Amino acid sequence: MGSQFVSHKVGMGLRPPHYPYLEENPQTDVAWFEAISENYMDSLGRPLELLLKLRKDYPIALHGVSMNIGSTAGIRVDYLEKLRNLIDRVEPFIVSDHICWTGIGTQNMHDLLPLPYTEDSLQQVVDNIDFVQDYLRRPLALENVSTYLSFRHNEMPEWDFVSEVSKRSGCALLLDINNAYVNGMNHGFDPINFLRSIPLDRVAQIHMAGPSDYGRYMFDTHANEIPEEVWSLFTQMAPQISHIPICIERDEDIPDFKTLETEVMKAAYILESSHESQRSTIFV
Ligand SMILES: [Fe+2]
C-alpha cells in the first residue's frame, strides 16, 4: 500500500469480479473493503475463504441488504444467527444495513423499500434495532436509502427520521451521499441541506456511488462513475468528514479493479486537500 492518502481510510465494496485480481495483487491503494454479508452467510466455500484471506491484510466492514429493520413482525432470528456466526469469523470493524423494509415474514423482496416517516414507524425501527444490538452484542450502523415515492402521511422529513433513529436507538449511521443526492432530485429538496441536517458525530461510515439518470427521476443503480454533482457534495462535506471511513460502491457494469481504485484515490485526494487547506488556514 504505497499511497500517501491511504491514511484517509477510503475503502471499496468487495465484488466477485475483482476476486482474481486481488488474489494476484493483494497489496492495493484501497484502505479497507466492505463485503455484502449475505454473499458469505450462506456460502461457506470459496467466497468466504477469499474474504478471510483478505481479512489478514485489510479491515473489513460487513454490509447487509436484508435485515429488514423496518419490519412490523420483528427481526428474523435465523438471519441474525447466521450474521453473528459470520461476524465471529470475520471480526468486522463495522456491521451495517439499511433504514428500510425488505419483506414480510420469510418473503424477501430483494429490494430496499421505503418506510413512512412517522412516529409509529420510528418506534418500530428503534425497537428492532434494540433487539438486533442486544442479539449481536454490538452497535449497528444504518444507512439512508434511495427512494422513488413518499407517503402522504409522513410526519417528518427523511433527515429528521434518520437522525432520530440514531439518537433514540444509539445506533450509528452510514451516510450515503449518493442516496441523499438521488432523493434530493426525486423529491425536490437540496441534498446539501439533508447532509447538513445529519448529526455527523453519529456517522460511522460514508458511501459514495453513481446513480443512473432517467430524466424524470434518478435511479440508484451503482452502475456509473460517481457524477460531478455527488463529488461536489462530497467536497463540500470534506472538512467535516475526513475522519470517517469512506466506501466507494459499484454494483453494475463493474469496471476493472484499477479503474475503481482511481475513484478511491480521488476521494482520498479530496479529503487530503481539504485537510491541508484547513491546516494552512489555521497557521496563516
Ligand atoms: Fe450505499
Ligand 1 centroid vs 205 CA: distance in angstroms? Answer: 10
Cell numbers of 28, please?
492495493
Asked if 87 and 140 touch (Cβ cutoff 8 Å), the reply is: no
176 Cα: distance to centroid of ligand 1 (angstroms): 5
Distance 206 CA to ligand 1 centre (A): 8
Domains of the chain with bracketed CATH: 6-283 (3.20.20.150)
For residue 265, count other CB atoms closer than 10 A to its CB: 17
The values of phi and psi at residue 212, to 5°, are -110, 135
Kindly give the distance from the C-alpha atom of residue 39 to the centroid of ligand 1, in angstroms, as a whole number. Answer: 16
Distance 282 CA to ligand 1 centre (A): 34
Q: What's the 281 CA to ligand 1 centre distance in angstroms?
A: 33
Question: Cβ distance 205 to 174 under 8 Å?
Answer: yes
How confident is the model over 201-233, as pLDDT tens digits?
999 999 999 999 999 899 999 989 999 999 999
pLDDT at 43: 75
| DSSP-assigned beta bridge partners for residue 36 | 63
User: What rounded mean pLDDT belongs to the chain?
Assistant: 93
108-148: per-residue pLDDT in tens?
A: 888 999 999 999 999 999 999 999 999 999 999 999 999 99
Q: What is the DSSP letter of 52?
A: H
Cα–ligand 1 centroid distance for 64 (angstroms):
11
Percentage above 70 pLDDT, the chain = 95
Q: How far is the CA of 208 from the centre of ligand 1 (A)?
A: 7
**46 Cα: distance to centroid of ligand 1 (angstroms):** 25
CA of 279 from ligand 1 middle (Å) equals 30
Query: CA-to-CA distance for 203 and 197, rounded, in angstroms?
Result: 12
Ligand 1 centre distance from Cα of residue 138 (Å): 21
Question: Can you list the alpha helix ranges (DSSP code H) found in 115-256?
Answer: 119-136, 158-169, 177-187, 191-197, 228-241
pTM as predicted: 0.94
Tell me the CA–centroid distance for residue 188 and ligand 1, in Å.
20
**pLDDT tens-place string over residues 137-192:** 999 999 999 999 999 999 999 999 999 999 999 999 999 999 999 999 999 999 99
CA of 251 to the centre of ligand 1 (A): 10
| Residues measured by CB to lie within 5 Å of ligand 1, the ion | 176, 207
